[in-house]
Amino acid sequence: MFTGIVEEVGAIAALTRAFPAARLTVRATHVTTDIKIGDSIAVDGVCLTVVAHDAASFSVDIQDETVQRTRVARYQPGQRVNLERALTPHSRMGGHYVQGHVDATGVVHAWHQEGPDWVLRVSVPPALHKYIVEKGFIAINGISVTVTECRRDVAVHVIPHTRAATTLADTRVGDLVNLEVDVLAKYVESLVKR
Enter the CATH code of domain 104-193: 2.40.30.20
| pTM of the model as a whole | 0.90
- Tell the burial category of 38 from Cβ atoms under 10 Å away from its Cβ (0-12, 13-18, 19+): exposed
pLDDT digits (tens, 9 = 90+) for 109-168: 999 999 888 999 999 999 999 999 999 999 999 999 999 999 889 999 999 999 999 999
Enter the CATH code of domain 8-85: 2.40.30.20
Bin 163: left if φ > 0, else alpha if -120 < ψ < 50, else beta.
alpha
Distances in Å between the Cα of 80 and the Cα atoms of 12, 26, 27, 114, 182 are 6, 9, 9, 25, 25
The domain spans of the chain are: 8-85, 104-193
Query: Is beta strand 137-140 parallel, antiparallel or unpaired with respect to 117-123?
Result: unpaired
pLDDT digits (tens, 9 = 90+) for 92-104: 777 788 889 999 9
Q: What is the structure's pLDDT at 19?
A: 64
